[in-house]
């Protein structure tokens, strides 16, 4: 039923919004969490919130990979980057993420050889070109990005490249959702599930949310109408007393995910017993490390990593934002001490972070802009 022209039309949006309105139980407040930072971005940029009837609130979840890296891990990254002979490679998004000891951009200004790369395969190429240096890749991201690191490791091993190391910080989405469901300060009615993560893991891993927690989840694409339609599908389940895992993004997401990607992850990485998330604290089995067989490419084996724990700045309420307990503008430093130019917390750094998305678009979208303009 998908036609490019019709797809973004305001008519469809208004119709969906009307349909959602008809499903409301009088007096009931609905809270739907969108787990993925990409959805948060879409929601603010296109004013999707304005299209939802009063009583339906979108809560922004923890699915921005840059936002969840704790201060201590950034300091560890800087410690590696400042070693002699090291070329430290990272996605551009991580450059300005604050640690306790500044950010990578500042480390670069102090003289560390920090380079932005588009892909882990670019980092591998840099290793190939600089045999007398040690090239470290700062691997971050949810399941969407993990297979890329996995395939890069397999290629490094196949080619026998010995001066390439991965500093693994890959996190997994399911334990984060579980932590949110277990958190006492939040009542949610349903979830809008991540699109790209689901292309890798499929829809099966979400079943416990419906089965054990009695909440619907609908995997959604990234366009405003995708999000709106997913919200409608969640609301319809609630109205009909169902709770299931449904897939609004079936044009890209398969039920079984991507078996080759899952296989490559399993071959190169395994679960850590625990990992710290910014704002959420330690969550057991929520992140990946390299398997022992890949010790020769593991930055955590190669280097002495300080591993200090740095508490989040006092003023920062990213934890509450990441759990959806408060909205970005409810943080005391939002837009004053904390801005995208000078972020205090990570949610203000990446454009997928709820604070940055709201700072950039939200104030306008709350006023006027709708999907149709």
Q: Closest separation between CB of residue 217 and ligand SF4, Å? A: 25
**Residue closest to ligand SF4, measured at CB:** 345
3-state secondary structure of 341: coil
Residue number, 66 or 316, with CB nearest to other proteins = 66
Q: Closest separation between CB of residue 264 and other proteins, Å? A: 8
What burial letters (b/e) apply to 310-349, b meaning 16+ CB within 10 Å?
A: bebbeebbbbbbbbbeebbeebebbeeebebeebbbbbbb
Residue number, 175 or 319, with CB nearest to ligand SF4 = 319
Q: Which of 119, 253, 248 is nearest to 197 (CA)?
A: 253
Query: Which tokens belong to 333?
Result: 């430093």
Query: Which tokens belong to 290?
Result: 């390299």
C-alpha–C-alpha distance, residues 14 and 51, integer Å: 7
133-192 binders of other proteins (CB under 8 A): 141, 144-145, 147-148, 151, 155
Name the binder of 355 from other proteins, ligand SF4, none, CB < 5-8 A by kind. ligand SF4
C-alpha–C-alpha distance, residues 216 and 234, integer Å: 6
Size of the site for other proteins (CB under 8 A): 46
Q: Which of 38, 66, 49, 60 is nearest to 252 (CA)?
A: 38
Query: Which tokens belong to 162?
Result: 């010995």
C-alpha–C-alpha distance, residues 356 and 352, integer Å: 7
C-alpha–C-alpha distance, residues 97 and 169, integer Å: 14
CB 285 within 8 A of CB 273: yes
Residue among 352, 358, 359, 362 that touches other proteins (CB under 8 A): 352
Q: Closest separation between CB of residue 67 and ligand SF4, Å? A: 8
Residue 371: what are its φ and ψ, rounded to 5°? -55, -25
C-alpha–C-alpha distance, residues 338 and 321, integer Å: 14
Residue number, 264 or 356, with CB nearest to ligand SF4 = 356
Q: Closest separation between CB of residue 327 and ligand SF4, Å? A: 10
Q: Closest separation between CB of residue 26 and other proteins, Å? A: 35
234-253 binders of other proteins (CB under 8 A): 251-252
24-63 binders of other proteins (CB under 8 A): 37-38, 41, 45
Residue number, 78 or 355, with CB nearest to ligand SF4 = 355
Name the binder of 328 from other proteins, ligand SF4, none, CB < 5-8 A by kind. ligand SF4
Name the binder of 331 from other proteins, ligand SF4, none, CB < 5-8 A by kind. ligand SF4
Is 22 a binding residue for other proteins by CB under 8 A? The answer is: no
Name the binder of 318 from ligand SF4, other proteins, none, CB < 5-8 A by kind. ligand SF4
CB 241 within 8 A of CB 25: no
Q: Closest separation between CB of residue 339 and other proteins, Å? A: 16
Place of tokens 């593991």: 298
Q: Closest separation between CB of residue 208 and ligand SF4, Å? A: 29
Residue number, 120 or 216, with CB nearest to other proteins = 120
Residue number, 271 or 333, with CB nearest to ligand SF4 = 333
What burial letters (b/e) apply to 252-291, b meaning 16+ CB within 10 Å?
A: ebeeebbeebbebbeebbeebeebbbbbbeebeebbbbbe
Q: Closest separation between CB of residue 258 and ligand SF4, Å? A: 32
Taking residues 253 to 282 in sequence order and writing x for each that binds other proteins by CB under 8 A, - otherwise, the string is -----x-xx--x------------------
CB 47 within 8 A of CB 17: no
- The residues that touch other proteins, with contacts defined as CB under 8 A, are 2-4, 7-8, 37-38, 41, 45, 64-66, 91-93, 116-122, 125, 128, 141, 144-145, 147-148, 151, 155, 195-196, 199-200, 222-223, 251-252, 258, 260-261, 264, 350-352
């Amino acid at each position: 039923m998908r036609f490019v022209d019709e797809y973004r039309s305001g008519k469809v949006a208004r119709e969906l919004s009307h349909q959602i309105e008809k499903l409301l139980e009088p007096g009931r407040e609905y809270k739907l969490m969108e787990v993925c930072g990409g959805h948060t971005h879409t929601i603010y940029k296109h004013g999707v919130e304005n299209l939802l009837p009063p009583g339906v609130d979108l809560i922004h979840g923890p699915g921005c990979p840059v936002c969840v890296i704790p201060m201590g891990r950034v300091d560890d990254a800087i410690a590696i980057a400042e070693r002699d002979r090291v070329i430290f490679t990272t996605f551009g998004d991580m450059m300005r993420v604050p640690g306790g000891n500044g950010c990578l951009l500042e480390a670069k200004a102090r003289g560390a050889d920090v380079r932005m790369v588009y892909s882990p395969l670019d980092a591998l190429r840099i290793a190939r070109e600089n045999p007398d240096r040690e090239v470290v890749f700062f691997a971050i991201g949810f399941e969407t990005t993990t297979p890329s690191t996995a395939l890069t490791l397999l290629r490094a091993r196949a080619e026998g490249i010995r001066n390439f190391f991965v500093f693994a910080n890959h996190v997994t989405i399911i334990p984060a959702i579980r932590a949110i469901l277990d958190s006492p300060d939040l009542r949610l009615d349903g979830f809008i599930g991540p699109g790209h993560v689901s292309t890798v893991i499929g829809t099966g891993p979400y079943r416990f949310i419906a089965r054990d927690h009695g909440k619907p989840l609908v995997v959604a694409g990234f366009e405003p109408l995708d999000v709106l339609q997913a919200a409608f599908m969640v609301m319809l389940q609630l109205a009909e007393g169902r709770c299931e895992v449904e897939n609004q993004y079936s044009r890209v997401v398969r039920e079984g995910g991507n078996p080759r990607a899952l296989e490559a992850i399993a071959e190169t990485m395994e679960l850590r017993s625990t990992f710290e998330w910014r704002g959420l604290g330690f969550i057991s089995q929520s992140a990946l490390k390299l398997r022992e067989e890949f010790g020769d490419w593991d930055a955590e084996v190669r280097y002495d990593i300080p591993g200090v724990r740095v508490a989040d700045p006092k003023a920062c309420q990213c934890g509450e934002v990441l759990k959806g307990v408060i909205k970005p503008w409810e943080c005391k430093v939002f837009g004053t001490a904390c801005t995208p130019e000078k972020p205090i917390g990570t949610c203000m750094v990446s454009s997928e972070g709820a604070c940055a998305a709201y700072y950039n678009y939200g104030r306008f979208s709350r006023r006027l802009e709708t999907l149709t303009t």
